[in-house]
Amino acid sequence: MSFNTVILKNFFKNLKNYALYMFALVFSVVLYFSFVLMSQDDSAVEEIQSSQLMSTGFTVGSVLLVVIILAFVMFANSLFLKRRNRELALFQLIGLTHGEILRILVLENAVIYFSSLVFGIAFGFLTSRTLLMILLRLMQVELSVGLNFSVQAVIQTAILFVGIFTLLMIQNFIFLKRTRLISMLTLDQSSEADYSGMGIGTMILGLLGLIMISSGYWLSMNIIEFGSVLLLVLFGILFLTIVGTYLTFKASVAFVLNMIRKSKQGCVSVNDVLSLTSIMFKMKSNAFLLSLVSIISAISMGLISFSYISHYSVESLIESTVSHDYTFYEEEDMQFYSHLLDDSEIEHRPLVIPTISYVARGDGIISGNGDDDSEISLNIVSEEFVDDTEVDEGELVIHGLSTVVGVYMDFDLNRSITLYNDDYEVTLELVETNEDAALPSFVARGRLQAVVSSEVYSRLEENAIHDKEQAEPHEAFVIDIVGEDSQEIFQLMNGENNPLFESRIEQYTNQIQGAGILMFVIGFVGLAFLMTTGCILYFKQIGESEDEKDTYKVLRKLGFSVNEIVKGLTLKVAITFGIPLIIGLLHTYFAVNAGWFIFGNEMWIPMLTVMGAYIVLYSTFGLVSILYYKKTVRDSL
């Protein structure tokens, strides 16, 4: 029997042990291939107005994906190498050179790689259909998803994975070169990190970690106050939370667990043996990995939350900036389109809305910096031009108060607001604030709008001082479609030689598609992050279960049942998976809380949805780990 047949036999017999590694590979291929395939789907690209944005989004997403995949596959490979230590050592003992062993590894990996690539591409093809449907749904594009297979996507995927393959072989070669034969023979016995005790240093570090995280959180709560050095504060928060997280894992967790252990005074139960002590030893050496997991979780949850918030808020954001279905720059333009619509027998309502600007002060206005007698400039609109708003004589309603503006400015209802200029002033009672805009944004110029009764408006109008030097528009020309506006009407008006205009439905479509792509790409990358961190933790648990096999054996010989041992291990899995998750969730909450208003006007529903989905998916990996432990314990005796 030649040596090659020995190697092949060994390989195929061992295939069961390689399953994990193959899974990692297939998973990565699926991820990448479906992503590439989707970005090259012509039928979708044609249909979508913002295809430029789409391709940019996909490019950024694919670069991130490559980074994640590379890190993930290399991690899996290093675990895989460690498990095969003794086999490789034996080959060296009987006289194979490093080069020959590397050749074996290349051969084996090539088989694994090639089959994973084929499987992955097949799966990826199926997944990409589903994913594309999700994407189009998010972008609110009606399009049936066909079956496009792109050879170019296959080639692109193949090139990437050949590149990764080369890197892995370099990794293997370095591993072989650097590991002494003696340490390979004894490696699997020395996995337990040396235990350096719970000194005063650990305690200080542990406290420091918690303090750093809390001060990071505190800064994020009060970020508005640091407007002038915002960037500096942002980096400060990042630094504090990231280093704090690391220290927490390095010291705080072990410290707390040790306190619990001490309080038991030697009477350790089976739960303690399997969870507390084991975690205490491993937490320190796994500190880097676990803090990576929590930070990555926080980043993906935070980013997905932000993108979901902006997707969720598109409609109300449009409402607060765009007041009418169509807005025109000149009165003639409005008339032109009015005729056009009449010709097509589309019922509509053209409007010319006059407006004047006044300075306002009074108890009703609360500015962000707590200054009581602050003044703001308002655009005054008469009540007759604003739908759904009832204003009596002596009353005033503020319009266009979006969430972003609301951060800097607030109003006290049922208090007075005085509108004034050099010659005239009138004091009115603020009865309501409203998010929706009453004027087109290029007329309002970022100012809030005050809606007053028509009598008050005409008095203000008479006394207005028209500043000749500032050529501000005093009228807005708009058309509202009676009933629902539609893409057909927009296309009818959007002729090539027609005058310029702004359309609410067009802005909405653009924004919802943009937000849809953004959310999809971020969601996809976030999902990739989630899956890889989950897999890495799971692989880690498998490794630990191998190491602890003897412990289970001893415990079972002592008379503990499988269920009792698994109960202890469940606690361990809950702690190993749970602590990074909890820290990640906290990080996410404080990050989203600090910046959500930039992206939209609803925080809780999108954030909690994202967190809920994340927790469910993440816990699946914990559950699978427990099942694996159960199997190991059952087989240990």
Residues near other proteins (CB under 8 A): 1-3, 6, 9-10, 13-14, 86-87, 89-90, 92-100, 180-182, 185
Residues, the chain, total? 637
**Tokens 């170019």, located at residue:** 152
Q: How far is the CB of 217 from other proteins (least distance, A)?
A: 39
Of all helices (H) and strands (E), which one includes residue 398?
A: strand 395-399
Q: How far is the CB of 126 from other proteins (least distance, A)?
A: 34
Q: How far is the CB of 278 from other proteins (least distance, A)?
A: 24
Q: How far is the CB of 5 from other proteins (least distance, A)?
A: 8
CB closer to other proteins out of 40 and 92:
92
CB closer to other proteins out of 9 and 553:
9
CB closer to other proteins out of 5 and 563:
5
Q: How far is the CB of 2 from other proteins (least distance, A)?
A: 6
CB closer to other proteins out of 94 and 471:
94
Among residues 303, 296, 300, the alpha carbon closest in space to that of 533 is found at 296
Q: At what angle do helices 549-557 and 504-547 cross, to 10 degrees?
A: 60
Q: How far is the CB of 622 from other proteins (least distance, A)?
A: 30
Among residues 191, 197, 3, 225, the alpha carbon closest in space to that of 96 is found at 3
Q: How far is the CB of 24 from other proteins (least distance, A)?
A: 22
DSSP 8-state code for residue 250: I
Question: In angstroms, rounded to a whole number, what is the distance separating the alpha carbons of residues 95 and 90?
Answer: 9
CB closer to other proteins out of 11 and 628:
11
CB closer to other proteins out of 53 and 102:
102
Question: In angstroms, rounded to a whole number, what is the distance separating the alpha carbons of residues 398 and 377?
Answer: 12
416 φ/ψ angles, rounded to the nearest 5 degrees: -95, 150
Q: Which residues neighbour 316 within 8 Å (Cβ) at sequence distance 6 or greater?
A: 435, 600, 601, 602
Question: In angstroms, rounded to a whole number, what is the distance separating the alpha carbons of residues 596 and 606?
Answer: 10
Question: In angstroms, rounded to a whole number, what is the distance separating the alpha carbons of residues 34 and 40?
Answer: 10
Question: In angstroms, rounded to a whole number, what is the distance separating the alpha carbons of residues 237 and 175?
Answer: 37
Encoding tokens for residue 501? 């205009």
Q: How far is the CB of 169 from other proteins (least distance, A)?
A: 18
Distance from CA of residue 568 to its chain's centroid?
Answer: 34
Residue 621 corresponds to which amino acid? F
CB closer to other proteins out of 1 and 229:
1
Question: In angstroms, rounded to a whole number, what is the distance separating the alpha carbons of residues 342 and 538?
Answer: 66
CB closer to other proteins out of 182 and 267:
182
